[in-house]
Amino acid sequence: MESWISGIRGVAYEMEDVIDAIKSMHESRHQRRGCMGSISRYSHKPCELITHRKISSGIEQIKIKIQSISNGRDRYGIANLGEGSGVDDSLQALRQFPPHFYDDTDVVGFEDDKEKLVKQLVDPENKNCSVVSIVGMGGLGKTTLARKLHIDPAIREHFDTFAWISVSQKYRVIELLKDIMKKVMELTKKKERNTRITLEELEQMGEEEVREQLRNFLRDKRHLVVMDDVWSVDVWRQMHHIFSNGNNGSRILLTTRKIEVARHAEPWIPPHELQLLNDAQSLELFCRKAFPPNQDVPTELEALAQKLAKRCGGLPLALVVLGGLLSRKDRSYDTWLRVARNMKWESSGDGQECLRILGLSYDDLPYPLKPCFLYIAAFPEDSTISTSKLVRLWIAEDTARDWLDELVQRCMIQVVERSMAHGRVESIRIHDMLRDFGLSEAGKDGFLHICSSDDKAVSDGISCHRAAFHSRINDEVAVFSPHLRTLLGFNLVLKDSTSAGKFLNGLNLVRVLEFEGARDLKELPKQIGQHDSSTIPGIEKH
């Protein structure tokens, strides 16, 4: 079945290639018209004949593959494709709940944790620059708790300046240092209006100069720097010198899955280890997500709700996602029982239960919503995503804005900011476990390929029609992957040749371009935007 589905996807891509080749040929013919049009047209006849033959051959191959797919459909006993997608029901359900139905800062069972950590962060007896660590497995709520601390009134009153950086597994120290500098400069500028350098000057600095500027800037300020999702002790080794001890009670709040990272960063203060939720806490969080506010659990669902909540093993992310899934379902015993039966109930004890629940929630998404979710995985890990930018990309890919709120209410994405005026979602983020799951599904489906700085896949050719480049891109993209339709770039460091946009030469089928943080991108090739099919949602150099 997997290979059959993959075959359908492959034929669809081949059909798209043929259609675009025909359109490109007609556009080229139209552009050759003019005073030399007749000579030009006749001179291109041999080329057009070759193109016609290639297209005809491609169409014949597609017909053969379609016949094979049709035979496979009979073999697998598939009667109807597309039924049961739940699109209409899902959109109808979407209108039943207010925009603030889900509070992404919901925390259950963290009250004691938060109180203890606040005391450590504002402890007047500890004048040293100390590290306070939150340790726990993925999906346990480390980042959620850290964000609650970051905005706590007592914390905001106690410290002079703040910075939040997301480290993750792939990081560049100079970018982390610059991120800290930008955050603390912005906040102190609002208070003091006497920053020593501009953001433009900061971008031109090397690592050592940034370190020196940051040390000087933080020396006389009581600061709180949150380092979220730290995976390696090397990060701390490379960065701890900037946090000079001014004996003013500054703090570093660190979240990590690895207790050795926390112990290395601060040997004298025991790390705060988050615990799994107990059964009562699990049920409370699950019901908050599965039912609208102030609504009691229906009597016929009480036992099943307890069973489903307990199956999540006390992991907040699993509870939130499963509750979000059931919030979109009819609240009847039979419907909930079907969901329960679709879950694999064997106990693993290794965190795999959460991945199974994520898979169940993804499989339940309506068909048009799945590519919307997978698209979000293209953005860098732990990034805050502008919804206006995301929706522009969706529109360019012929998807709908309505699905944004659907993903929020299913708890597949987290709201970062809402409009104060009408509650509209302004920016979002995605949990790293959900992003990893999305990347895995996008790869299996041939939907999207992510190219990191050390990725060798470019020279091997990218089979997907969509590719996202993080940090680096080279001039070989068009040579080895000329069929790309969507090209995304984030925080690109460009060489002289790539800064002129030469890497886009030959990408004649590209429809969507989005570059964020490509500060050295000077120009785009002339052919970009000339085709009727081209859409350029945004070229951002900030």
Q: What is the pLDDT of residues 326-339, one digit of tens each?
A: 998 888 999 999 88
Contact 244, 219 (CB under 8 A): yes
87 pLDDT more than 90? no
DSSP states along 4-51: HHHHHHHHHHHHHHHHHHHHHHHHHHHHT-STTHHHHHHHTHHHHHHH
Q: What is the mean pLDDT of residues 104-125?
A: 86
pLDDT at 376: 92
Q: What is the mean pLDDT of residues 28-54?
A: 57
In terms of pLDDT, which residue wins out, 437 or 38?
Answer: 437
pLDDT at 399: 58
Q: What is the pTM assigned to this prediction?
A: 0.72
pLDDT at 459: 52
pLDDT at 205: 87
Using pLDDT thresholds of 50, 70 and 90, give the confidence band for residue 123: very high
The residue ranges of every structural domain in the chain are 2-76, 111-273, 277-446, 448-542
Query: In sequence order, what are the beta bridge partners of 227?
Result: 165, 254
531 pLDDT more than 70? no
In terms of pLDDT, which residue wins out, 498 or 165?
Answer: 165
Q: What is the mean pLDDT of residues 131-144?
A: 92
pLDDT at 230: 93
pLDDT at 177: 92
Token pair for 500: 């002129």
pLDDT at 122: 95
13 pLDDT more than 80? no
Question: Which residue, chain included where needed, has tokens 């701390």?
Answer: 236
358 pLDDT more than 60? yes
532 pLDDT more than 50? no
pLDDT at 290: 92
Please give the share of the chain, as a percent, with pLDDT higher than 70: 72
pLDDT at 105: 55
Using pLDDT thresholds of 50, 70 and 90, give the confidence band for residue 27: low
Token pair for 127: 């004048």
Token pair for 281: 């806490």
Contact 108, 277 (CB under 8 A): yes
Q: What is the mean pLDDT of residues 50-64?
A: 76
Closest CA to 320 of 366, 358, 347, 279: 358
C-beta atoms surrounding 337 within 10 Å: 12
pLDDT at 90: 41
pLDDT at 148: 93
Of 38-47, 150-159, 428-437, which range is least confident?
38-47
Using pLDDT thresholds of 50, 70 and 90, give the confidence band for residue 303: very high
Q: What is the mean pLDDT of residues 196-224?
A: 85
pLDDT digits (tens, 9 = 90+) for 444-455: 878 888 887 655
Interatomic CA distance for residues 333 and 390, integer angstroms: 37
In terms of pLDDT, which residue wins out, 169 or 192?
Answer: 169
In terms of pLDDT, which residue wins out, 79 or 309?
Answer: 309
Q: What is the mean pLDDT of residues 469-497?
A: 75
pLDDT at 169: 78
Interatomic CA distance for residues 96 and 93, integer angstroms: 5
340 pLDDT more than 80? yes
DSSP states along 132-173: EEEE--TTSSHHHHHHHHHT-HHHHHH-SEEEEEE--SS--H
Using pLDDT thresholds of 50, 70 and 90, give the confidence band for residue 252: very high
226 pLDDT more than 80? yes
pLDDT at 201: 80
34 pLDDT more than 70? no
Mean pLDDT, all residues of the chain:
78
| Angle in degrees, 0-180, between the axes of helices 302-311 and 316-327, rounded to the nearest 10 | 140
Using pLDDT thresholds of 50, 70 and 90, give the confidence band for residue 498: low
Contact 534, 511 (CB under 8 A): yes
Token pair for 360: 């169940």
Using pLDDT thresholds of 50, 70 and 90, give the confidence band for residue 84: very low
What does CATH list as the number for 111-273? 3.40.50.300
pLDDT digits (tens, 9 = 90+) for 260-273: 999 999 998 899 99
Closest CA to 448 of 514, 359, 495, 403: 514
In terms of pLDDT, which residue wins out, 105 or 75?
Answer: 75
Helix, strand, coil percentages, rounded to 5, for the chain: 50, 10, 40
pLDDT at 93: 42
99 pLDDT more than 60? no
pLDDT at 120: 95
- Conformational region of residue 493, where left means phi above 0, alpha means psi within -120 to 50, and beta covers everything else: beta
pLDDT at 145: 94
From residue 355, give the alpha-carbon distance in Å to each of 141, 183, 453. Answer: 16, 34, 27
Sign of CA dihedral 303, 308, 314, 317: negative
Q: Any idea of the CA torsion for 200, 203, 204, 208, to the nearest 10 degrees?
A: 130
Using pLDDT thresholds of 50, 70 and 90, give the confidence band for residue 496: low
Please give the share of the chain, as a percent, with pLDDT higher than 90: 27
Contact 66, 4 (CB under 8 A): no
- 3-class DSSP assignment, residue 475: coil
